[in-house]
Chain A
């Protein structure tokens, strides 16, 4: 049967939304299963995100607001500085350095931060596993992850790469949920604003980075999730297009120093972990549309739903051939798939978006399940709006602002308005 158009519309949007959903779900699960553990040990952690002010429950509200604002400011300045540094390095063609730095940071995130999360999971559920096996498994896990993230010349399945991207997002997000409440909110707002500026303002670091990368026909030196549908579905001539996205990253320096103050728990008292790791990038959904997006808008301007995903254009493999020197894995991908099949480059979403969406949802999970659902829906719809805007503006767009704004709004609306209403009616067993 000649499939109806319902099957072909929205493939790309779902391709982005499903990993984001998986990421959020897993972060919420981790937060749920680990909160009891970490709340009892109650170690304050100091990271780059709360360098200035360490929130204590006893502080007054104004102190908290002031301190968290300062924290957010410092954090954003740090990110901006690191991003500019990255752009500078990229501008002067230190690509190899950047890639190795990314590898190193991925190694660090997967190995150390991921490792500590695994250890707390193992403790929480009392999984019987000995240290040596655990180390070997962790090492293998990490090495495969590092290889898959920037594979050069190795044909790594795209699925594996996507899985590791999501894992990186989960790990970093799970760490960020350790931040105190007020700091988290101001940080999210500040990052959303920063994202807006960095991607859209002329001279914004991410904008420069994306433009540089697209002028060089290069991949962005960043941790970016690619939603790449394997084959285009449209078998008749008109191909789905290459929605070339690039998301830049700026890696953030997050310094996590974990003072395990009360640490008598498992004998690792006064453990001081100095994790100097990069984290992620606050990044935008930055598709640089190299190819013409032809959307003959006969359906009127509102027809964005259909056009976001279905973008017709010619296939264009030539820029790929130009980057032989890079040993681009994308090329091997397209080769292995056969040249005459249209390659579809999916929308790219920065890992930072994964992280901060999940941070928001994870923070919501500490309050109640209701806020989790509300925030999830808000974030996903914000992402949908961003993708629709993407098809309208056809340039790199920040993915954080709309989603974060909606998410925070829905969080507080749910918490303040909806919860008493719903709890009040449903504990009386009344529904409608």
Chain B
């Protein structure tokens, strides 16, 4: 029974990403490599952050501000990292194009670029889910479960799986938005990504209040859905524009 519950938590947190992985990523080896390296980058960022914060942990106070600082610095660091990733990706794209020219294959299509961004984002999301949710799931396979005082409506594992799902969605699609924004030089796309990440991060602070998760998690899901909607709208716009441009060229 607990085994079933454990598997259920895993699938709850990772089900959508698993679907994405199987349908989009796994057919193209290069995307798998992108995914793995982006996961590694996220892991390294987490290690660096925890190295910095190790001195102050565990926080004994019940005040909320140390946590707020922790979240703010982490988000700032990761958004900085996204810029670095974008630089790297830019180089990679040039190389891939040069390589495609050499083997007389078509250059990267727009959808290819988006898929690379998606793989990168999914890597971040997966790493998040793996380290913040999955790695804590080991006890859930055992004979008992665990409740947190602040949010005693559901087992801790269930709550963390639900929160992870929201964050996986946000990470995955904000990478697509960000890369597109950088490529187009679109300021609003560029700015909305750190903004969304920041809001999502600060919303988890609500969980510190006793019973706050009842409010915090729906709000978090609103952020996740708006990320999804924004990304969908943007991709749709890009694709239709691209289509129009292509048909113009053909005429």
Contacts and interface: CB of A to CB of B under 8 A. Distances in A.
Interface residues of A, number: 55
A2 interface: yes
Interface residues of B, number: 73
B207 interface: yes
Given A2-B106, A4-B105, A423-B136, A431 B32 contact: no
A416 B51 CA distance: 9
A422 B99 contact: no
Contacts of B163: 429, 431
B contact face: mostly helix, strand, loop, or mixed:
helix
A421 B53 contact: yes
Interface string B131-174: 11111111000000000101100001001100110010000000
A5 B109 CA distance: 10
Nearest to A236: B104
Interface in B86-141: 91-92, 94-96, 98-100, 102-106, 108-109, 112, 115-116, 128, 130-138
B180 interface: no
Given A7-B28, A418-B50, A369 B137 contact: yes
B33 interface: yes
A contact face: mostly helix, strand, loop, or mixed:
helix
28 contacts: A6-B96, A6-B116, A9-B99, A10-B32, A13-B29, A14-B29, A310-B103, A312-B103, A377-B43, A381-B37, A416-B54, A417-B54, A418-B46, A418-B47, A418-B50, A420-B57, A421-B57, A422-B46, A422-B135, A423-B136, A424-B59, A427-B136, A427-B156, A429-B148, A429-B204, A429-B207, A432-B71, A432-B74
Interface of B: 27-33, 36-37, 39-40, 43, 46-47, 49-51, 53-54, 57-59, 67, 70-71, 74-75, 78, 91-92, 94-96, 98-100, 102-106, 108-109, 112, 115-116, 128, 130-138, 148, 150-151, 156, 159-160, 163-164, 167, 197, 200-201, 204-205, 207-208, 213
Interface of A: 2, 4-11, 13-14, 17, 234, 236, 238, 296, 298-300, 302-303, 305-306, 309-310, 312, 368-370, 373-374, 377-378, 380-381, 384, 410, 413-414, 416-418, 420-432
